[in-house]
Amino acid sequence: MKKEIDDFLAKVEVRNSHEPEFLQAVHEVAESLIPYISDNQVYNGKNILLRMVEPERLISFRITWVDDKGEIQVNRGYRIQMNSAIGPYKGGLRFHPSVNASILKFLAFEQVFKNALTTLPMGGGKGGADFDPKGKSDAEIMRFCQAFMSELYRHIGPNTDVPAGDIGVGGREIGYMFGIYKKLKNEFTGILTGKGPTWGGSLMRPESTGYGVVYFTQNMLKLKKETLEGKSIVMSGSGNVAQFAAEKAIELGAKVLTLSDSGGYILDEEGIDTEKLSYIKELKNVKRGRISDYVEEFPKAKYFVGERPWSVKCDIALPCATQNELNGDEAKQLVSHGCICVVEGANMPSTPEAIQVFQEAKLLFAPGKASNAGGVATSGLEMSQNSLRLSWSKEEVDTRLKAIMEAIHQSCVSYGENKDGSIDYIKGANIAAFVKIADAMLAQGVV
């Protein structure tokens, strides 16, 4: 079996040797799926996994725009349309200097599996640009978004590809892109998700990824007859996912100790309560400030410049910032400090070495494709509301979100249960998603 896995990965690497993040994502999936494919004749010999790792379409384009000084700027934009076997392409747009084809292909590949797990009919895609929104004026953001969408609009549509937000793309950016799309196409359709609630957006969309992470954590702990009440949580990030994961965790009685950004992390041993979290939301969302400002407002807290929070003792760790932010040595620190549960809020935030440490220690570990699927699930609900020209209440969306996260957890348990009764959530998530996508691909022939 090892030879089969190695041969497959070697074949993929020949085509994608310059894309380390993508290869990392494929490696993790292949280790779970190739043994399963070999044991199930219906999938064997069809090269389904090889077809899945090749994007159906990879679009790259130039973005030219004018900054406030009147100077012409040039960025590169992308859209990876990975797999549409079970529905139109669906996945976020990321604006960040680190954006490249490798990162977006890994995100799109993960998105295919994540979307399949949601129970909703959505394929997988991802896109973005190497544009840095930090330090830009609203007028510059608007001009860039309009230039970006002036090319992207040719390749998307409500029944073809429905982008959403991601890092660097929030409600402001979605609004600017939707506005220019509407003008170019002369139509009002649900082409983007994450829209404002007064013009086609879904209530609960901003909260959904973070809330979903906590709902998934709840389901994991429930299997062990545990709850979040009284548990200490170390969390990275301070953006949308981290903010709302913290909000829901606090509501359910947990004690959130840390948050972070690219400059470092804060540690509040008294716990980040609702009042403190409101300050952080205003700091990050309105003032666009740094997390280090927190210690000026709450001087009992500490700030650790240039560090990540994984050395802090905790019961639960929620990495909610970015890919590969938690390495093997940091994983060992979490284990040695008694951490019982690690749930990924970001996409692939744990390195392979870290995952190995968690699995060997038999921690509860949930991969992002399962645990952070609440965001795209609610995007799918937004698509449904747009198609029906309806708007559901916050309570109705939240009820549906809880049910979806519970269903994802159950799928992971069904396909990931080991002989000793433990749950391999990585294996469970990968196989559950694969079966749904592969069955659709087989039904549709070689296309």
Active site residues: 126
- The strand pair at 72-83 and 57-66 is best described as antiparallel
Under DSSP, is residue 55 helix (H, G, I), strand (E, B) or coil?
coil
Helix 425-444 crosses helix 20-39 at what angle (to 10 degrees)? 80
Tokens in use for 203? 């209530």
Tokens in use for 312? 């802090």
323: nearest Cα among 265, 372, 287, 279: 372
Residue 299 CB-density burial (10 A; 0-12 exposed, 13-18 middle, 19+ buried): exposed
CB atoms within 10 A of CB 23: 19
Longest CA pairwise span in the chain (Å): 65
Q: With left for phi above 0 and alpha for psi between -120 and 50, is residue 7 left, alpha or beta?
A: alpha
CB 53 within 8 A of CB 80: no
92: nearest Cα among 148, 159, 164, 176: 164
DSSP annotation of 71 reads -
From CA 8, how far away is CA 13, in angstroms rounded?
Answer: 9
Q: Give the CA-trace dihedral at 305, 140, 242, 312, to 10 degrees.
A: -10
**Any residues with CB less than 8 A from the CB of 369 and at least 6 apart, and which?**
110, 113, 114, 117, 347, 429, 430, 433
